[in-house]
Amino acid sequence: GQQLNQSPQSMFIQEGEDVSMNCTSSSIFNTWLWYKQDPGEGPVLLIALYKAGELTSNGRLTAQFGITRKDSFLNISASIPSDVGIYFCAGQLRGSQGNLIFGKGTKLSVKP
């Protein structure tokens, strides 16, 4: 099946540092979504992107839909302890009326 390559798999950073993670694919996507999952909870939507080149912010979070439509990144600025969790990208393939494909997640740890 189609795959999204999400990297890095995990990050361990100091509070206050900026964070960057990305998802790439060899296929073209119509939609990119970024979710965060806290321990013991379901994923919660952070940012949704629907157009190539789109750059969207949500507080300290910024995500972009790559121009090639094959990638997306998520940046977190000035990280805080509550940013800890697993971040997932998800996308819908171009030309597909099908479901979202999920990356395997980036586990973020923040040291106070």
Partner 1 sequence: NAGVTQTPKFRVLKTGQSMTLLCAQDMNHEYMYWYRQDPGMGLRLIHYSVGEGTTAKGEVPDGYNVSRLKKQNFLLGLESAAPSQTSVYFCASSYDFGNTIYFGEGSWLTVV
**Residues of this chain that bind partner 1 (CB under 8 A):** 1, 30-31, 33, 35, 40-45, 48, 88, 90, 92, 96-100, 102-105
Residues pairing with 37 in the sheet: 86
Residue 22: CB minimum distance to partner 1, A: 15
Supply the DSSP string of 44-80, one letter for each residue: EEEEEE-STT-EEEETTEEEEE-TTSSEEEEEE-S--
By C-beta, is 31 or 77 nearer to partner 1?
A: 31
Residue 90: CB minimum distance to partner 1, A: 8
Residue 51 near residue 31 (C-beta atoms within 8 A): no
By C-beta, is 82 or 97 nearer to partner 1?
A: 97
